[in-house]
Chain A
């Protein structure tokens, strides 16, 4: 496997308003690496949605970003409740987020669909009661 530049983040599950710190840092790091702005935009939005999900549903988690010559891979891992029905969770508008999250403008059921929309490949591995790992890849054409 070719050499990757690697960034690792711990996503704090305590504070909803601070969610986004990892995504904003990724955005900065990618800009420094000279990645095109439109690619950075896709990656940082997908990453932010993932962060928000981990804060809402899983009390935080970890994010790993690997930058290869031809692609960027994001791996988000949490030890939350898992996703019972992945197909349903992928539908736009379907959400299990609580009301306090909705009042902040999230929980519209667009998080996972946005992550798919902005990446070239997305894989969800989830076990109920154990946690979820989402792997997203964006190709650098």
Chain B
């Protein structure tokens, strides 16, 4: 499944989608950025409530397929535009991480 297909299937909001045809594989949930870098796998969907600029670097370096911002968290425009420029896919969900994760599990992720 691609990031764009994931967005459409779960009716998530697209914040940035510069590489929507990237394949997703597995899920990691976490807000402590070093934990994410230590534990997330390449191509994971990363669920978080963090919204500062460092999430863009972490997503790039950990090579996750997309970030899902949970609980209706929004980004400052400068963070959004940096993510777009760096090719980082970011989706947003109103639901908390657990609810979003359950829906991802139903998709077999």
A and B are partners in one complex rather than unrelated chains: yes
CB < 8 Å neighbour of B33 from A37, A44, A105: A105
With contacts A105-B33, A108-B32 taken as known, whether A117 is within 8 angstroms of B38 at the C-beta atoms is yes
Cβ of B57 under 8 Å from chain A: yes
Q: Main SS of chain B's interface residues?
A: helix
With contacts A27-B60, A41-B63, A117-B38 taken as known, whether A110 is within 8 angstroms of B32 at the C-beta atoms is yes
State the CA gap A49–B33 with chains docked (Å): 10
Residue of A with least CB distance to B49: A105
Residue of A with least CB distance to B78: A17
Which residues in window 30-81 of B have CB below 8 A to A? 31-35, 37-38, 42, 50, 52-55, 57-58, 60-63
State whether A114 touches B37 (Cβ < 8 A).
yes
Cβ of B102 under 8 Å from chain A: no
State whether A113 touches B61 (Cβ < 8 A).
no
State the CA gap A38–B42 with chains docked (Å): 8
State whether B61 touches A17 (Cβ < 8 A).
no
Which residues in window 38-52 of A have CB below 8 A to B? 38, 41, 44-45, 48-49, 52
With a CB–CB cut-off of 8 A, which chain A residues contact B33? 104-106, 108
> Which residues in B have some Cβ–Cβ distance to A below 8 Å?
31-35, 37-38, 42, 50, 52-55, 57-58, 60-63, 86
